[in-house]
Amino acid sequence: MAWRHLLLPLSPAYRGAVAARRIAFSRGWLRRARLAAPVISVGNLTFGGTGKTPTVIALVRDLVRMGRRPAILTRGYKRRGDNQVVVIGPEPRHTVFEAGDEPLEMARQLPGVPVVVDADRERGGREAIRLGADVVVLDDGFQHLRLERDLDIVVIDAGDPWGGGRVPPLGRLREPIAALRSADAVLVTKVPDDWRPVVAEIESVVDRVSPALQVFVARLRPVRVRVTGEGWCDPSVLSGQRVFAFAGLGRPQGFVVTLAEAGAELVDSRWFPDHHDYRDQDVREVVAAAQAANAVPVTTAKDAVKLPADAEVWVVEAEMEPIEGSWRGLWRLLPGVAS
Q: pLDDT of 16-56, one tens digit each?
A: 888 888 888 888 898 899 999 999 999 999 987 789 999 99
Q: How far apart are CA 190 and CA 192, in angstroms?
A: 7
Winning range, highest mean pLDDT, from 171-175, 273-277, 290-294: 290-294
Q: Tell me, what's the pLDDT at 82? A: 82
In a domain, 16, yes or no: yes
Residue 113 covered by a domain: yes
272-278 mean pLDDT: 91
Mean pLDDT to the nearest integer, 247-274: 93
Q: Is the pLDDT of residue 237 over 80?
A: yes
Query: 336 in a domain, yes or no?
Result: no
Summary mean pLDDT of the chain: 92
* Within a domain: 338: no
- Average pLDDT of the segment spanning 229-233: 94
- 304 and 171 assigned to the same domain: no
171 and 281 fall within a common domain: no
Q: Is there a domain that residue 12 lies in?
A: yes
Give residue 25's identity as a one-letter amino acid code: F
End-to-end CA distance of the chain: 54
CA torsion sign, 22 to 28 to 30 to 31? positive
Residue-level pLDDT at 6? 55
What is the rounded distance in angstroms from the CA atom of residue 192 to the CA atom of residue 157?
11
Q: Is the pTM of this model over 0.85?
A: yes
Is residue 218 within 8 A of residue 191, CB to CB? The reply is: yes
Count of structural domains, the chain: 2
Could you tell me if residue 282 is inside a domain? yes
What pLDDT is attached to residue 233? 97
Q: What is the mean pLDDT of residues 126-148?
A: 95
Measured between alpha carbons, how far is 299 from 307 in angstroms, rounded to an integer? 10
For range 54-60, the mean pLDDT? 97
Asked if the model's pLDDT at residue 87 lies above 60, the reply is: yes
C-alpha distances in Å from residue 211, one per residue of 41, 155, 180, 183, 214 = 21, 17, 10, 12, 8
Q: Are residues 9 and 82 in the same domain?
A: yes
Mean pLDDT across the stretch 164-171? 82
How many Cβ atoms sit within 10 Å of the Cβ of residue 198?
Answer: 17
Mean pLDDT, residues 91-109 = 92
Q: Does residue 339 form part of some domain?
A: no
> Is 198 in contact with 296 (CB distance < 8 Å)?
no
**321: which strand partners?**
219
Residue 173 and residue 246 in one domain: no
CATH number at residue 47: 3.40.50
The helix (run of H) or strand (run of E) holding residue 32 is: none
Amino acid at 326: S
User: Could you tell me if 136 and 73 are in contact, meaning their C-beta atoms sit under 8 angstroms apart?
Assistant: yes
Q: What count of Cα atoms within 13 Å lies in the side-chain half-sphere of residue 197?
A: 3
Centre a 10 Å sphere on the Cβ of residue 52 and count the other Cβ atoms it contains. 25
Compute the chain's Rg from CA coordinates: 20
Do 69 and 189 sit in the same domain of this protein?
Answer: yes
Is residue 2 pLDDT above 50, yes or no? no
CA distance 76 to 141: 12
Q: Which amino acid is at 288?
A: A
**Residue 271, amino acid:** W
The DSSP H or E segment spanning 85 is strand 85-87
pLDDT score of 9 = 66
Same domain, residue pair 214 and 249: no
Collapsed DSSP state (helix, strand, coil) of residue 6 = helix
**Is residue 289 located within the same domain as residue 326?**
no
Domain extent, residue 306, equals: 221-320
| C-beta separation of 78 from 104 below 8 A | no
Residue 7: predicted pLDDT: 59
Does residue 263 sit in the same domain as residue 253?
Answer: yes
Residues 202, 105 share a domain = yes
* 229 plus 187 within the same structural domain: no
- Taking only the tens place, the pLDDT of each residue in 287-336 is 999 999 999 999 999 999 999 888 999 999 999 999 999 999 999 999 88
Residue 28 and residue 144 share a domain = yes
Q: Which residues pair with 46 in a beta bridge?
A: 173
Q: What is the pLDDT of residues 8-18, one digit of tens each?
A: 667 778 888 88
CB-facing half-sphere around the CA of 307: CA atoms within 13 A: 24
One-letter identity of residue 2:
A
DSSP H or E run through 97: helix 96-99
Positive or negative, the CA dihedral 50, 97, 103, 168 is positive
Q: With respect to residue 337, please indicate whether it lies within any of the assigned structural domains.
A: no
pLDDT band for position 1 (cuts 50, 70, 90): very low
Model confidence at 5, in pLDDT bands (50, 70, 90)?
low
Distance of CA 133 to the CA centre of its chain: 21
Residue 222: strand pairing partners: 318
Mean pLDDT of 259-287: 94
Same structural domain, 215 and 258: no
Measured CA to CA, the distance from residue 289 to residue 276 in angstroms comes to 19
